Protein backbone atom coordinates (compact mmCIF):
# COMPACT_ATOMS: atom_id res chain seq x y z
CA UNK A 1 0.00 0.00 0.00
CA UNK A 2 1.21 3.51 -0.81
CA UNK A 3 1.91 6.15 1.80
CA UNK A 4 0.09 9.48 2.10
CA UNK A 5 1.94 12.79 2.18
CA UNK A 6 0.95 16.41 2.84
CA UNK A 7 2.67 18.65 0.30
CA UNK A 8 1.03 22.04 0.91
CA UNK A 9 -1.10 23.74 3.56
CA UNK A 10 -3.18 26.92 3.69
CA UNK A 11 -5.69 28.55 6.02
CA UNK A 12 -7.48 31.81 6.48
CA UNK A 13 -6.81 33.87 9.55
CA UNK A 14 -9.67 33.37 11.97
CA UNK A 15 -12.49 35.91 11.95
CA UNK A 16 -14.55 36.80 15.02
CA UNK A 17 -18.33 36.49 14.91
CA UNK A 18 -19.51 39.51 12.97
CA UNK A 19 -15.87 40.39 12.32
CA UNK A 20 -13.71 40.80 9.28
CA UNK A 21 -14.80 37.62 7.51
CA UNK A 22 -18.51 38.18 8.12
CA UNK A 23 -18.94 39.53 4.58
CA UNK A 24 -17.42 36.45 2.95
CA UNK A 25 -19.89 33.81 1.76
CA UNK A 26 -18.52 30.50 3.13
CA UNK A 27 -18.37 28.97 -0.37
CA UNK A 28 -16.16 31.81 -1.54
CA UNK A 29 -14.13 31.77 1.68
CA UNK A 30 -13.33 28.09 1.18
CA UNK A 31 -12.78 28.73 -2.52
CA UNK A 32 -10.19 31.42 -1.83
CA UNK A 33 -8.23 29.07 0.42
CA UNK A 34 -8.43 26.25 -2.15
CA UNK A 35 -7.18 28.59 -4.86
CA UNK A 36 -4.24 29.67 -2.71
CA UNK A 37 -3.40 26.07 -1.86
CA UNK A 38 -3.24 25.16 -5.54
CA UNK A 39 -1.04 28.17 -6.27
CA UNK A 40 1.31 27.35 -3.39
CA UNK A 41 1.64 23.70 -4.36
CA UNK A 42 2.23 24.28 -8.06
CA UNK A 43 -0.11 21.39 -8.85
CA UNK A 44 -1.88 21.36 -12.20
CA UNK A 45 -5.50 22.02 -11.17
CA UNK A 46 -6.66 19.37 -13.64
CA UNK A 47 -4.60 16.77 -11.73
CA UNK A 48 -6.72 17.19 -8.59
CA UNK A 49 -8.99 14.17 -8.37
CA UNK A 50 -11.27 15.19 -5.51
CA UNK A 51 -11.96 17.87 -2.93
CA UNK A 52 -13.13 16.47 0.42
CA UNK A 53 -14.42 19.26 2.63
CA UNK A 54 -15.48 19.16 6.26
CA UNK A 55 -18.39 21.28 7.49
CA UNK A 56 -20.17 20.79 10.80
CA UNK A 57 -23.30 22.76 9.89
CA UNK A 58 -23.98 21.96 6.22
CA UNK A 59 -27.10 24.05 5.76
CA UNK A 60 -28.11 27.42 4.37
CA UNK A 61 -25.09 29.03 2.72
CA UNK A 62 -23.08 25.93 3.64
CA UNK A 63 -25.62 23.50 2.21
CA UNK A 64 -26.00 21.75 -1.15
CA UNK A 65 -22.55 20.10 -0.89
CA UNK A 66 -20.28 23.06 -0.23
CA UNK A 67 -17.24 20.95 -1.13
CA UNK A 68 -18.28 20.90 -4.79
CA UNK A 69 -19.29 24.55 -5.01
CA UNK A 70 -16.17 25.75 -3.19
CA UNK A 71 -14.07 23.95 -5.82
CA UNK A 72 -16.01 25.73 -8.55
CA UNK A 73 -15.72 29.06 -6.73
CA UNK A 74 -11.96 28.48 -6.56
CA UNK A 75 -11.83 28.29 -10.34
CA UNK A 76 -10.85 24.63 -10.42
CA UNK A 77 -11.76 22.75 -13.60
CA UNK A 78 -15.33 21.45 -13.72
CA UNK A 79 -13.79 17.96 -13.89
CA UNK A 80 -12.68 18.28 -10.25
CA UNK A 81 -15.45 16.83 -8.03
CA UNK A 82 -16.12 17.71 -4.41
CA UNK A 83 -17.91 16.22 -1.44
CA UNK A 84 -18.79 17.31 2.08
CA UNK A 85 -18.07 15.44 5.32
CA UNK A 86 -19.87 15.96 8.64
CA UNK A 87 -18.20 14.51 11.71
CA UNK A 88 -19.10 17.67 13.62
CA UNK A 89 -16.00 19.44 14.97
CA UNK A 90 -13.79 16.71 13.51
CA UNK A 91 -15.22 17.07 10.01
CA UNK A 92 -12.11 18.30 8.23
CA UNK A 93 -9.80 16.05 10.24
CA UNK A 94 -11.98 13.21 8.96
CA UNK A 95 -11.72 14.74 5.48
CA UNK A 96 -7.95 14.40 5.82
CA UNK A 97 -8.34 10.76 6.87
CA UNK A 98 -10.57 10.04 3.88
CA UNK A 99 -8.15 11.81 1.52
CA UNK A 100 -5.17 9.93 2.94
CA UNK A 101 -6.93 6.57 2.77
CA UNK A 102 -7.92 7.23 -0.85
CA UNK A 103 -4.38 7.97 -2.02
CA UNK A 104 -2.91 5.16 0.08
CA UNK A 105 -5.06 2.62 -1.75
CA UNK A 106 -4.09 4.11 -5.11
CA UNK A 107 -7.66 4.92 -6.12
CA UNK A 108 -6.48 8.52 -6.56
CA UNK A 109 -3.09 10.20 -6.45
CA UNK A 110 -3.88 13.86 -5.69
CA UNK A 111 -6.69 14.90 -3.31
CA UNK A 112 -7.46 18.07 -1.37
CA UNK A 113 -8.69 17.75 2.23
CA UNK A 114 -10.30 20.94 3.50
CA UNK A 115 -12.82 22.45 5.85
CA UNK A 116 -14.90 25.58 6.30
CA UNK A 117 -17.30 27.14 8.75
CA UNK A 118 -18.83 30.59 8.79
CA UNK A 119 -20.31 30.72 12.26
CA UNK A 120 -21.43 34.28 11.64
CA UNK A 121 -23.54 33.43 8.60
CA UNK A 122 -24.60 29.89 9.58
CA UNK A 123 -24.99 29.91 13.37
CA UNK A 124 -24.01 26.76 15.25
CA UNK A 125 -26.80 24.17 15.12
CA UNK A 126 -28.87 25.95 12.48
CA UNK A 127 -29.27 22.90 10.17
CA UNK A 128 -31.15 21.01 12.88
CA UNK A 129 -32.70 23.75 15.03
CA UNK A 130 -34.32 25.58 12.12
CA UNK A 131 -36.19 22.52 10.75
CA UNK A 132 -37.37 21.66 14.27
CA UNK A 133 -38.74 25.17 14.66
CA UNK A 134 -40.80 24.68 11.49
CA UNK A 135 -42.22 21.31 12.41
CA UNK A 136 -39.79 19.10 10.51
CA UNK A 137 -38.60 17.17 13.54
CA UNK A 138 -35.32 16.53 15.30
CA UNK A 139 -32.53 13.99 15.28
CA UNK A 140 -33.78 12.73 18.69
CA UNK A 141 -35.50 9.59 17.39
CA UNK A 142 -37.63 7.22 19.49
CA UNK A 143 -34.83 4.67 19.41
CA UNK A 144 -32.30 7.21 20.63
CA UNK A 145 -34.65 8.37 23.38
CA UNK A 146 -35.17 4.78 24.48
CA UNK A 147 -31.44 4.33 24.93
CA UNK A 148 -30.81 7.78 26.49
CA UNK A 149 -34.15 8.78 28.08
CA UNK A 150 -34.37 12.44 29.04
CA UNK A 151 -30.61 12.76 28.63
CA UNK A 152 -29.30 15.96 27.05
CA UNK A 153 -26.44 15.79 24.57
CA UNK A 154 -24.78 19.11 25.38
CA UNK A 155 -21.16 20.07 24.90
CA UNK A 156 -21.56 22.79 27.52
CA UNK A 157 -22.79 20.29 30.12
CA UNK A 158 -20.11 17.86 28.96
CA UNK A 159 -17.42 20.46 29.57
CA UNK A 160 -18.65 20.97 33.13
CA UNK A 161 -18.76 17.21 33.67
CA UNK A 162 -15.22 16.82 32.32
CA UNK A 163 -13.87 19.60 34.55
CA UNK A 164 -15.52 18.02 37.60
CA UNK A 165 -14.31 14.51 36.75
CA UNK A 166 -10.68 15.62 36.46
CA UNK A 167 -10.85 18.07 39.36
CA UNK A 168 -10.19 21.38 37.59
CA UNK A 169 -11.11 24.67 39.21
CA UNK A 170 -12.30 27.83 37.48
CA UNK A 171 -8.92 29.44 38.13
CA UNK A 172 -7.03 26.54 36.52
CA UNK A 173 -9.20 26.79 33.42
CA UNK A 174 -8.76 30.54 33.28
CA UNK A 175 -4.98 30.24 33.64
CA UNK A 176 -4.94 27.82 30.73
CA UNK A 177 -7.04 30.25 28.66
CA UNK A 178 -4.60 33.06 29.43
CA UNK A 179 -1.69 30.91 28.30
CA UNK A 180 -3.50 30.16 25.03
CA UNK A 181 -3.74 33.89 24.29
CA UNK A 182 -0.13 34.47 25.32
CA UNK A 183 1.18 31.68 23.11
CA UNK A 184 -0.94 32.76 20.14
CA UNK A 185 0.16 36.38 20.54
CA UNK A 186 3.81 35.32 20.71
CA UNK A 187 3.45 33.09 17.64
CA UNK A 188 1.89 36.01 15.74
CA UNK A 189 4.63 38.45 16.77
CA UNK A 190 7.31 35.95 15.78
CA UNK A 191 5.71 35.34 12.37
CA UNK A 192 5.01 31.63 12.89
CA UNK A 193 1.59 31.84 11.23
CA UNK A 194 2.71 33.89 8.25
CA UNK A 195 3.41 30.88 6.01
CA UNK A 196 0.07 29.28 6.86
CA UNK A 197 -2.29 32.18 6.35
CA UNK A 198 -3.92 33.19 3.08
CA UNK A 199 -4.34 37.00 3.06
CA UNK A 200 -7.90 37.94 2.18
CA UNK A 201 -9.25 41.29 1.01
CA UNK A 202 -11.99 42.66 3.26
CA UNK A 203 -14.18 45.72 2.84
CA UNK A 204 -15.04 47.25 6.21
CA UNK A 205 -18.47 48.82 6.92
CA UNK A 206 -17.04 52.29 6.28
CA UNK A 207 -15.81 51.21 2.85
CA UNK A 208 -12.16 50.89 3.82
CA UNK A 209 -10.40 47.97 2.12
CA UNK A 210 -7.98 46.02 4.32
CA UNK A 211 -6.07 42.76 4.17
CA UNK A 212 -7.15 40.19 6.74
CA UNK A 213 -4.04 38.16 7.57
CA UNK A 214 -4.03 38.01 11.39
CA UNK A 215 -6.20 35.88 13.64
CA UNK A 216 -8.79 38.30 14.95
CA UNK A 217 -9.60 36.70 18.30
CA UNK A 218 -6.19 36.88 19.97
CA UNK A 219 -6.18 39.09 23.06
CA UNK A 220 -2.52 39.96 23.50
CA UNK A 221 -3.31 42.10 26.55
CA UNK A 222 -5.51 39.52 28.28
CA UNK A 223 -5.14 39.19 32.05
CA UNK A 224 -6.18 36.52 34.50
CA UNK A 225 -8.40 39.07 36.24
CA UNK A 226 -10.15 39.96 33.01
CA UNK A 227 -10.74 36.34 32.05
CA UNK A 228 -11.96 35.59 35.56
CA UNK A 229 -14.51 38.39 35.40
CA UNK A 230 -16.43 36.80 32.52
CA UNK A 231 -19.80 35.40 33.56
CA UNK A 232 -20.07 31.63 33.99
CA UNK A 233 -22.29 29.74 31.56
CA UNK A 234 -24.13 28.09 34.44
CA UNK A 235 -24.42 28.98 38.10
CA UNK A 236 -22.01 27.00 40.22
CA UNK A 237 -20.01 25.85 37.20
CA UNK A 238 -16.54 26.74 35.98
CA UNK A 239 -16.96 27.17 32.21
CA UNK A 240 -17.20 30.68 30.76
CA UNK A 241 -16.95 32.11 27.27
CA UNK A 242 -13.41 33.17 28.16
CA UNK A 243 -12.11 29.65 28.87
CA UNK A 244 -13.94 28.12 25.90
CA UNK A 245 -13.20 28.31 22.19
CA UNK A 246 -14.19 31.42 20.29
CA UNK A 247 -16.94 31.42 17.68
CA UNK A 248 -15.02 31.79 14.45
CA UNK A 249 -15.24 32.09 10.67
CA UNK A 250 -12.50 30.31 8.78
CA UNK A 251 -11.33 27.77 6.22
CA UNK A 252 -8.25 25.61 5.70
CA UNK A 253 -6.95 23.11 3.15
CA UNK A 254 -4.23 20.49 2.69
CA UNK A 255 -2.91 18.85 -0.47
CA UNK A 256 -2.63 15.07 0.06
CA UNK A 257 -0.78 12.82 -2.39
CA UNK A 258 0.86 9.39 -2.68
CA UNK A 259 4.20 8.50 -4.27
CA UNK A 260 2.75 8.76 -7.77
CA UNK A 261 1.35 12.16 -6.89
CA UNK A 262 4.73 13.29 -5.60
CA UNK A 263 6.33 12.34 -8.92
CA UNK A 264 3.63 14.20 -10.80
CA UNK A 265 4.14 17.30 -8.66
CA UNK A 266 7.93 17.07 -8.66
CA UNK A 267 8.09 18.46 -5.13
CA UNK A 268 9.16 17.45 -1.63
CA UNK A 269 6.45 16.62 0.91
CA UNK A 270 6.03 18.54 4.15
CA UNK A 271 4.86 15.56 6.18
CA UNK A 272 3.86 11.92 6.02
CA UNK A 273 0.63 10.61 7.51
CA UNK A 274 1.90 8.12 10.09
CA UNK A 275 -1.33 6.93 11.74
CA UNK A 276 -5.07 7.68 11.64
CA UNK A 277 -7.68 6.69 14.22
CA UNK A 278 -11.27 7.53 15.03
CA UNK A 279 -13.16 6.35 18.11
CA UNK A 280 -16.62 6.65 19.62
CA UNK A 281 -17.07 7.17 23.36
CA UNK A 282 -19.67 8.34 25.90
CA UNK A 283 -22.00 10.79 24.09
CA UNK A 284 -23.15 12.41 27.34
CA UNK A 285 -19.84 13.59 28.79
CA UNK A 286 -19.03 13.81 25.08
CA UNK A 287 -15.66 15.59 25.26
CA UNK A 288 -13.53 12.85 26.83
CA UNK A 289 -13.10 10.79 23.65
CA UNK A 290 -9.66 12.24 22.68
CA UNK A 291 -8.11 10.39 25.65
CA UNK A 292 -8.98 6.78 24.70
CA UNK A 293 -8.66 7.67 21.01
CA UNK A 294 -5.07 8.81 21.59
CA UNK A 295 -4.31 5.63 23.52
CA UNK A 296 -5.70 3.59 20.63
CA UNK A 297 -3.72 5.55 18.03
CA UNK A 298 -0.45 5.22 19.93
CA UNK A 299 -0.97 1.48 20.37
CA UNK A 300 -1.66 1.00 16.66
CA UNK A 301 1.38 3.12 15.79
CA UNK A 302 3.60 1.25 18.24
CA UNK A 303 4.59 4.54 19.86
CA UNK A 304 4.66 6.17 23.29
CA UNK A 305 3.30 9.65 23.83
CA UNK A 306 6.74 10.91 24.88
CA UNK A 307 8.00 10.04 21.39
CA UNK A 308 5.64 12.67 19.96
CA UNK A 309 7.24 16.11 19.80
CA UNK A 310 4.19 18.37 19.46
CA UNK A 311 0.53 17.91 20.36
CA UNK A 312 -2.45 19.80 18.92
CA UNK A 313 -5.48 19.10 21.11
CA UNK A 314 -8.39 21.29 20.14
CA UNK A 315 -9.34 23.79 22.82
CA UNK A 316 -13.10 23.45 22.46
CA UNK A 317 -13.17 24.10 26.21
CA UNK A 318 -10.15 24.45 28.51
CA UNK A 319 -10.85 21.17 30.37
CA UNK A 320 -10.48 19.18 27.13
CA UNK A 321 -6.71 19.62 26.61
CA UNK A 322 -6.14 19.78 30.36
CA UNK A 323 -7.93 16.46 30.99
CA UNK A 324 -6.15 14.92 27.99
CA UNK A 325 -2.75 15.99 29.32
CA UNK A 326 -3.55 14.88 32.88
CA UNK A 327 -4.89 11.47 31.89
CA UNK A 328 -1.99 10.72 29.54
CA UNK A 329 0.74 12.43 31.60
CA UNK A 330 1.60 14.60 28.61
CA UNK A 331 4.33 17.23 28.64
CA UNK A 332 2.47 20.59 28.76
CA UNK A 333 5.36 22.35 26.99
CA UNK A 334 4.55 20.35 23.83
CA UNK A 335 0.81 21.07 23.93
CA UNK A 336 -0.67 23.69 21.58
CA UNK A 337 2.65 25.53 21.45
CA UNK A 338 1.27 28.33 19.25
CA UNK A 339 -1.96 28.72 21.20
CA UNK A 340 -5.30 27.12 20.45
CA UNK A 341 -8.96 27.71 19.78
CA UNK A 342 -9.50 29.73 22.96
CA UNK A 343 -7.36 32.44 21.35
CA UNK A 344 -7.41 31.57 17.65
CA UNK A 345 -11.03 30.50 17.28
CA UNK A 346 -12.74 27.22 16.48
CA UNK A 347 -14.45 27.29 13.07
CA UNK A 348 -16.12 23.92 13.82
CA UNK A 349 -15.85 21.77 10.68
CA UNK A 350 -12.87 23.81 9.47
CA UNK A 351 -10.81 23.24 12.60
CA UNK A 352 -9.36 19.83 11.75
CA UNK A 353 -7.64 21.13 8.62
CA UNK A 354 -6.74 24.35 10.43
CA UNK A 355 -5.03 22.52 13.29
CA UNK A 356 -3.13 20.27 10.92
CA UNK A 357 -1.95 23.30 8.95
CA UNK A 358 -0.60 24.77 12.18
CA UNK A 359 0.86 21.46 13.39
CA UNK A 360 2.77 20.75 10.17
CA UNK A 361 4.05 24.33 10.12
CA UNK A 362 5.11 24.15 13.78
CA UNK A 363 7.02 20.91 13.22
CA UNK A 364 9.05 22.66 10.53
CA UNK A 365 9.44 25.87 12.53
CA UNK A 366 10.80 24.07 15.58
CA UNK A 367 12.66 21.30 13.77
CA UNK A 368 10.58 18.53 15.36
CA UNK A 369 9.76 15.12 13.90
CA UNK A 370 6.40 13.77 15.09
CA UNK A 371 3.14 15.58 15.73
CA UNK A 372 -0.21 14.35 17.05
CA UNK A 373 -3.57 16.03 16.54
CA UNK A 374 -6.86 15.18 18.19
CA UNK A 375 -10.16 16.87 18.89
CA UNK A 376 -13.40 16.17 20.68
CA UNK A 377 -16.54 15.90 18.55
CA UNK A 378 -20.25 16.14 19.24
CA UNK A 379 -21.76 12.73 19.85
CA UNK A 380 -18.76 11.61 21.89
CA UNK A 381 -16.18 10.91 19.16
CA UNK A 382 -12.57 11.84 18.44
CA UNK A 383 -10.16 11.65 15.53
CA UNK A 384 -6.42 11.26 16.05
CA UNK A 385 -3.78 11.88 13.38
CA UNK A 386 -0.05 11.31 13.82
CA UNK A 387 2.23 12.91 11.23
CA UNK A 388 5.97 12.85 10.62
CA UNK A 389 7.78 15.93 9.35
CA UNK A 390 9.80 15.33 6.20
List active site positions. 89, 346, 376
Please answer whether residues 61 and 249 qualify as being in contact, where contact means their C-beta atoms are separated by less than 8 angstroms. no
Per-residue 3-state assignment (H helix, E strand, C coil) for the chain: CCCCEEEEEEECCCEECCCCCCCCCHHHHHHHHHHHHHHHHCCCHHHCCEEEEECCCCCHHHCCCHHHHHHHHCCCCCCCCEEEECECECHHHHHHHHHHHHHHCCCCCEEEEEEEEECCCCCCCHHHHHHHHCCCCCCCCHHHHHHCCCCCCCHHHHHHHHHHHCCCCHHHHHHHHHHHHHHHHHHHHCCCCCCCECCEEEECCCCCEEEECCCCCCCCCCCHHHHHCCCECCCCCCCEHHHECCEEEEEEEEEEECHHHHHHHCCCCCEEEEEEEEEECCCCCCCCCHHHHHHHHHHHHCCCHHHCCEEEECCCECHHHHHHHHHHCCCHHHECCCCCHHHHCECHHHHHHHHHHHHHHHHHHCCCCEEEEEEEECCCEEEEEEEEEC
| Kind of pairing between the strands at 310-313 and 370-377 | parallel
Amino acid sequence: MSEAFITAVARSAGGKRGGRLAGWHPTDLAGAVLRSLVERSGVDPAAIEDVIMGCACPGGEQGANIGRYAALSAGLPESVPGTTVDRQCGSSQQALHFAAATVMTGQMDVVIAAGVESMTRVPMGLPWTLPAQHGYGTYRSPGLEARYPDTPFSQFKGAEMLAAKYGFTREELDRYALESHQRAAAATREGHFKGEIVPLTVTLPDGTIVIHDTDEGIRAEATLEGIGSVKLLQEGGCISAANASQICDGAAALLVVNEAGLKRLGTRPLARIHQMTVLGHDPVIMLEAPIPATEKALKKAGMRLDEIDLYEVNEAFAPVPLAWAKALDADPSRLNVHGGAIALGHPLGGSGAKLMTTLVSALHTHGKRYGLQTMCEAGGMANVTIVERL
